[in-house]
Amino acid sequence: MNSMISIPKHVRQLLFAIILFHAIVFAYIAFQLDFKTAVRFIGGLSALLLLPGLSLSYAFWGSQHFDPLERILLSIALSIATVPTIMFMGTKFGIKITGASTSLVILTIIAVGVLGMIIRRFFDRRSKQTPIVPAKG
């Protein structure tokens, strides 16, 4: 049973927009960046710290096991663990750390996570459609 309070989708979207706006304003004021740079800073930070781990967390555990705060914290932890590890392994094979290589690693991790989500949903649906019946013998 889910003990969380149900929040309508439009309220969640509004809260997300407000949090994003405040993050951009914070970056604009605290780091004395122009608006375009502040938006790039927040976008890059979320792409680095949230998206790779988010896709991996959905691939590994699906959507039914965590509440949103746990999912976000797990996503940040997975991102912090995977992106630097893969970048370190790449340097051992002679790949230099540049913006392009880092972006490629992040996009690859996201793609692997999305592929894992698709495979997981396929097998979840398939297992629900075809029940296993023991053989008579």
pTM (2 d.p.)? 0.69
Residue 2 has pLDDT above 60, yes or no: no
CA Rg, the chain, in Å? Answer: 20
Q: Tens digit of pLDDT for each residue in 6-47?
A: 777 777 777 787 788 888 888 778 878 788 888 888 888 888
122 pLDDT band, cuts 50/70/90, is confident
Q: Where are the domains of the chain?
A: 7-49, 52-131
**DSSP per-residue letters across 18-37:** HHHHHHHHHHHHHTT--HHH
Q: E-assigned strands of 1-137?
A: none
Whole-number pLDDT of residue 69: 80
Residue 63 token pair? 């959507």
Q: Tens digit of pLDDT for each residue in 55-112?
A: 999 898 887 777 778 888 898 999 999 999 999 999 999 999 998 999 999 999 999 9
Residue 113 token pair? 């996570």
CA–CA separation, 137 and 134 (whole Å): 9
Whole-number pLDDT of residue 1: 45
Whole-number pLDDT of residue 137: 59
